[in-house]
Amino acid sequence: AQKVTQAQTEISVVEKEDVTLDCVYETRDTTYYLFWYKQPPSGELVFLIRRNSFDEQNEISGRYSWNFQKSTSSFNFTITASQVVDSAVYFCALSEGGNTGTASKLTFGTGTRLQVML
């Protein structure tokens, strides 16, 4: 069975601080995909990134960066120089791979609520 653990329930930081959101996953599949989504108060999920299990390269997109380490089954997300607009709930998710490509059903973590204060 697949499982995603986000141990941090809530994090509060002051604007301009860096913050890392942790994600640890469990799966028996050798091919799988990892995702991060942002959910602002409106509720709509905002896609941030997808990573497949064969690509362990770290990725940077503006103030966002992701660290994927298969050895520790972790896929952590760092926001550099956080801003108030980053306040939201962030979900890490996992899907199995195989011939369905990147979009099988997702198993979500419990989410981390990030509050960025002035």
Instruction: Determine, following the binding rule CB under 8 A, whether residue 45 of this chain makes contact with another protein.
Output: yes
Binding segment for another protein among 39-47, 51-59, 64-72, 79-87 (CB under 8 A)? 39-47
Instruction: In angstroms, give the least distance from the CB of 92 to another protein.
Output: 10
CA dist 37 to 19, 48, 88, 100, 118, Å? 16, 5, 10, 20, 24
Q: Which of residues 98-117 bind another protein (CB under 8 A)?
A: 100-103, 105-111
> If we measure between CA atoms, which residue out of 50, 56, 49, 52 comes closest to residue 70?
56
| Rounded Cα distance, 70 and 89, in Å | 24
In whole angstroms, the minimum distance from the beta carbon of 48 to another protein comes to 12
Q: Is 47 in the site for another protein (CB under 8 A)?
A: yes
SS3 content of the chain, % helix, strand, coil (to 5): 10, 55, 40
Total of residues contacting another protein (CB under 8 A): 18
- Report the length, in residues, of the chain: 118
- Complex with another protein: residue 94 or 116, whichever CB lies closer: 94
Residues in contact with another protein by the rule CB under 8 A: 37, 42-45, 47, 91, 100-103, 105-111
